Amino acid sequence: MNKITFIGAGSTVFAKNVLGDSMLTPALQGFEFALYDIDMERLHDSEKMLNNLKESTHSHVHIRAYEDRQEALRGAKYVVNAIQVGGYDPCTITDFEIPKKYGLRQTIADTVGIGGIFRNLRTIPVMLDIARDMQEVCPDALFLNYTNPMAVLTNVMNTYGGIRTVGLCHSVQVCVPHLFENLGMDPTGVQSKIAGINHMAWLLEVTKDGEDLYPEIKRRAREKQLEKHDDMVRLELMLRFGYYVTESSEHNAEYHPYFIKKNYPDLIERFNIPLDEYPRRCVNQINRWKSMRDELVQNKQLSHQRTHEYASYIMEAMETNVPFKIGANVMNTGLIPNLPREACVEVPCLVDSSGVTPTYVGNLPAQCAALNRTNINTQLLTIEAAITGKREHIYHAAMLDPHTSAELSLDDIVSLCDDLIDAHGKWLPQYR
């Protein structure tokens, strides 16, 4: 029996999206859906939810929960990863509260920045453990990574884990629809080209019937910036650097040194930046789960419509050999020549029975590549720290981070890193 293994299956809503999509995919009927999570209660909640969904959709798949990760992985053809190491409490709280003592504020802290660095450091060892299990029991499986920080973790699994890995983030497929909705434009029939790095990929081309839509987009954006709205950072970056970026304004506010500055507090109001947004979302999600649980887990009539998540479409294309185009995170290998070859990049890819084949993009506009490289610097030094176990590379990663280095002195950066290492305790034992 073919097998799809979902690691982090206690993420019940996301498991419903990805595996619910798969239940509605004819080419995936007859597959076993193997579920694994370290939280047994959440694991069995997801198992029950998916069995209800299987009945209501009349799907011919097999649902099985595993308490042993290696057994869940054994013989898998596809592995979907959605883990979060350390969770909201204590690790996300730590990532936000300790930097605040130094005057360093964040919005999401899951990609780069000081929070992204430490999320990587506690997640990479777990990812490499998964890779070792896969090397033993399913070495040829395709690993579909949804866990952030996307670029670093996808890089590590390919480079050091020896596992064929593709990173998936829905910011690519929602980029144009969200931009056009925000500006009151119709996205029907629009063609686009997107490439860069995860959460900072660029809308390089946007046309309709051969007409470049950027002049009209920028005209409307200049008008839109005169009022308060939720996408002010991205529109400002586009007007200053020429191209729209895929991920949200709350994310991009902390990827650059221009927006969150303690000496310019008016910028927070001016660009409508939601500080501490991710902890707020976590608390809301925890509270919402209490009311959602019965609706999802106990609902015998649970329904599902196929989402825009790429996972089921990738598996379908590989099973049927009917090509499908995605935007995915892969190793650079010269796809974008003016970004480092050792970096993970987000580019258009073609999927068929031969797997995921990235396309050559060529050089990015110079200013876009330069902005990407500022984040890649921190990503690569974070990997260096994780692989060598050397504390000084953590300092290097933080010193090179655009937002952190714009706010703190070298001494404060080192002190902050030391405080975060101490606070993480058992999550980062190798640096103690």
Report, as residue numbers or ranges, the catalytic residues. 170
Strand blocks (E) in 117-199: 142-145, 165-167, 191-197
Count of beta carbons in the 10 Å neighbourhood of residue 343: 22
Cβ atoms of 108 and 114 within 8 Å: the answer is no
- Under DSSP, the state recorded for 370 is H
Residues with Cβ within 8 Å of residue 297, at least 6 apart in sequence: 12, 45, 48, 49, 52
Strand blocks (E) in 250-377: 324-331, 344-352, 355-358
Residue 95, CA atoms < 13 Å, CB-side half-sphere: 30
Distance of alpha carbon 425 from alpha carbon 13, whole angstroms = 30
- Residue 351 phi/psi, 5-degree rounding, is -115, 130
- Under DSSP, the state recorded for 1 is -
Residue 6's DSSP bridge partners are 35, 80
The sign of the torsion formed by the CA atoms of 419, 420, 426, 430 equals negative
Q: Kind and range of the H or E element at 53?
A: helix 40-57
Residue 289's DSSP bridge partners are none
- Of 123, 156, 223, nearest to 183 by C-alpha is 223
DSSP string, 68-128: SHHHHHTT-SEEEE---SSIIIIIIHHHHHHHHHTT---S--SSSHHHHHHHHHHHHHHHH
Residue 63's DSSP bridge partners are 33
Tokens at 144, concatenated: 């579909």
What is residue 302's three-state secondary structure? coil
